């Protein structure tokens, strides 16, 4: 049997499955909707990333500045020494554009709107001044907006990269293929003491002939696990696919939360593996870390039917 990747047709969740389960129904871990595992030869390819994102996010150039209309000839002064009847005025919109771009949090959009409105009014009224101020407000606002878009894009890519992957490994060949990646493994009810198991309101039970550990009423449990100091690590946890609501917990590595998970009937009748990528900074230079499963108040953590620390 062989593994293949496919996407949830509803939300795009990445799922790695065994070809032997083509045609069976599972619950998507992302949107919780029931989907049918497609044939291995029909696995949809991931949508190509949109091209030229930077070009689309770049701000449009400001409209060209038209020359002001010809000023009508002023009538001859009625008497010598008479002052100018109309004086230049500073555009309030130009001032607002500069202030929004500098002082108002997330003021890039108001700064851009006020700046373009100020320039438009100055083209219609030759007695309005402040073109340089409006231009400065537009420049700063566009730079701030571009920086926000870049930060949002980086944050989105990071969340996508660390998104947990659900994998069906029910066949012996699938389990054997995982072994070369295993750095350390916790077997519930067997070698937990070797991993310095600690817990609060937790217990061990048996389901489908396999032992699992669970924490009740906001409890927790943890293990000391080996890692490689120079390689990125992935934590693999095995769950029962028929769990009901109420299993809501956080997973932390050395007191740093790496994931929040909720078990809700993801793969009825099957055991499922969920792989959580660990940020490299949490394992770099270390040979051991403490992995903790902490239930939300009034909720359950687990059950965990085993966990492994994996190489990439």
CA angle 96, 147, 47 (to 5 degrees): 130
Residue 166 contacts residue 272 (beta carbons within 8 Å): yes
pTM attached to this predicted model: 0.54
Mean of the per-residue pLDDT values of the chain? 83
What phi and psi values does residue 57 have, to the nearest 5 degrees? Answer: -85, -10
pLDDT at 56: 47
pLDDT at 256: 94
pLDDT band at 61 (very low <50, low <70, confident <90, very high): low
- Structure tokens, 296: 């939300």
Q: Does 78 score more than 80 pLDDT?
A: no
Give the mean pLDDT of 280-287.
93
What phi and psi values does residue 207 have, to the nearest 5 degrees? Answer: -145, 135
Between CA 265 and CA 35 the distance in angstroms is 13
- In the sheet that 14-18 helps form, which strands lie side by side, from edge to edge? 3-7, 14-18, 165-167, 271-277, 234-240, 307-310, 182-186
Output DSSP code: residue 195: G
Give the mean pLDDT of 246-260.
94
- Structure tokens, 11: 């939300």
Residue 36 contacts residue 24 (beta carbons within 8 Å): yes
Distance spanning both ends of the chain, measured CA to CA: 22
pLDDT band at 26 (very low <50, low <70, confident <90, very high): confident
In the chain, % of residues over pLDDT 70: 85
pLDDT at 184: 96
pLDDT at 156: 81
Q: Does 69 score more than 70 pLDDT?
A: no
Between CA 138 and CA 98 the distance in angstroms is 8
User: What are the distances in angstroms from CA 194 to CA 79, 187, 225, 311?
Assistant: 105, 10, 9, 21
CATH code: domain 171-310 is 2.60.120.260
Taken in order 128, 132, 136, 138, is the CA torsion positive or negative? positive
What phi and psi values does residue 109 have, to the nearest 5 degrees? Answer: -65, -50
pLDDT at 55: 39
> Which candidate, 2, 77, 74, places its Cα nearest to that of 43?
2
Q: Encode pLDDT of 92-138 as tens digits.
A: 998 998 888 888 777 889 999 999 999 999 898 888 898 999 899 99
Q: Encode pLDDT of 162-176 as tens digits.
A: 788 888 888 888 888
- Is pLDDT larger for residue 266 or for residue 48? 266
Give the mean pLDDT of 187-214.
93
pLDDT at 17: 75
Between CA 206 and CA 46 the distance in angstroms is 39
Q: Does 52 score more than 70 pLDDT?
A: no
Q: Does 276 score more than 90 pLDDT?
A: yes
In the chain, % of residues over pLDDT 90: 41
Q: Encode pLDDT of 133-159 as tens digits.
A: 989 999 999 998 888 888 888 878 877
User: What are the distances in angstroms from CA 159 to CA 154, 209, 275?
Assistant: 9, 36, 14
Residue 260 contacts residue 249 (beta carbons within 8 Å): yes
């Amino acid at each position: 049997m062989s593994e293949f990747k496919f996407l949830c047709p509803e939300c795009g969740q990445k799922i790695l499955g065994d070809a032997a389960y083509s045609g069976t129904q599972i619950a998507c871990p992302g949107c919780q909707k029931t989907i049918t595992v497609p044939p291995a030869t029909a696995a949809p390819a991931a949508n190509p990333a949109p091209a030229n994102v930077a070009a689309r996010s770049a701000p449009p150039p400001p409209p060209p500045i038209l020359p002001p209309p010809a000023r009508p000839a002023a009538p001859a002064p009625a008497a010598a020494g008479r002052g100018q009847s109309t004086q230049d005025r500073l555009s309030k919109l130009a001032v607002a554009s500069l202030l929004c771009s500098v002082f108002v949090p997330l003021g890039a959009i108001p700064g851009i709107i006020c700046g373009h409105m100020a320039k438009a009014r100055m083209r219609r009224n030759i007695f309005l001044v402040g073109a340089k101020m409006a231009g400065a407000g537009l420049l700063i606002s566009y730079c701030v907006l571009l920086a926000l878009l870049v930060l949002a894009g980086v944050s989105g890519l990071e969340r996508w990269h660390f998104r947990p992957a659900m994998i069906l490994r029910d066949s012996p060949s699938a389990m054997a293929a995982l072994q070369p990646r295993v750095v350390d493994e916790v077997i519930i009810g067997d070698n937990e003491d070797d991993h310095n198991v600690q817990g609060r309101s937790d217990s061990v039970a048996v389901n489908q002939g396999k032992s699992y550990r669970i924490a009740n009423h906001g409890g927790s449990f943890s293990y000391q696990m080996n890692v490689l100091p120079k390689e990125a690590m992935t934590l693999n946890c095995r769950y029962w696919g028929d769990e009901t609501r109420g299993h809501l917990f956080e997973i932390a590595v050395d007191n740093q939360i790496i994931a929040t998970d909720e078990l809700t009937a993801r793969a009825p009748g099957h055991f499922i593996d969920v792989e959580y990528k660990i940020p490299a900074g949490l394992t770099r230079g270390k040979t051991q870390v403490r992995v903790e499963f902490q239930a939300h108040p009034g909720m359950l953590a687990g059950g965990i039917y085993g966990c492994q620390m994996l190489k990439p």
